[in-house]
Amino acid sequence: MRDPSYDILVATAGREIAGLVDLWTFPDFGEGANTSMIQNLVVTSKFRRRGIAYALVKHVVKLAKKRGAKEVHVSTGMRNKKAIALYRNNGFMKLYAFLEKSPV
């Protein structure tokens, strides 16, 4: 993917992929600056509970800052307590409802 507004970081353990996170950064008219959004964060079950997700989030937030983002957004299921705790431990706050509708 050669889109300069998109980054993907991959965590490896030896020759295995342990996890990944991707980040979209785009101009936000309302903020008057760039905003970044974590689209996906995945750690394979074999490598969970080792701090990999925490490290990926921490790293991608630094990358968002480098990209000039004023904010980093992420969404997860309301019942995904582990993901919510992970993001809160990385300084994220619950601010808004994220709504979704299929165009079909």
Global confidence as pTM: 0.87
CA-to-CA distance for 68 and 45, rounded, in angstroms?
33
CA-to-CA distance for 34 and 64, rounded, in angstroms?
9
| CB proximity list for 8: less than 8 A, separation 6 or greater | 1, 20, 21, 22, 23
Residue 95 has pLDDT above 90, yes or no: no
pLDDT more than 70, % of the chain = 99
* pLDDT, tens digit, 9 for 90 and up, residues 15-34: 999 999 999 999 999 889 99
Residue 65 has pLDDT above 80, yes or no: yes
| CB proximity list for 47: less than 8 A, separation 6 or greater | 11, 13, 16, 18, 19
Q: How confident is the model at residue 11 (pLDDT cuts 50, 70, 90)?
A: very high
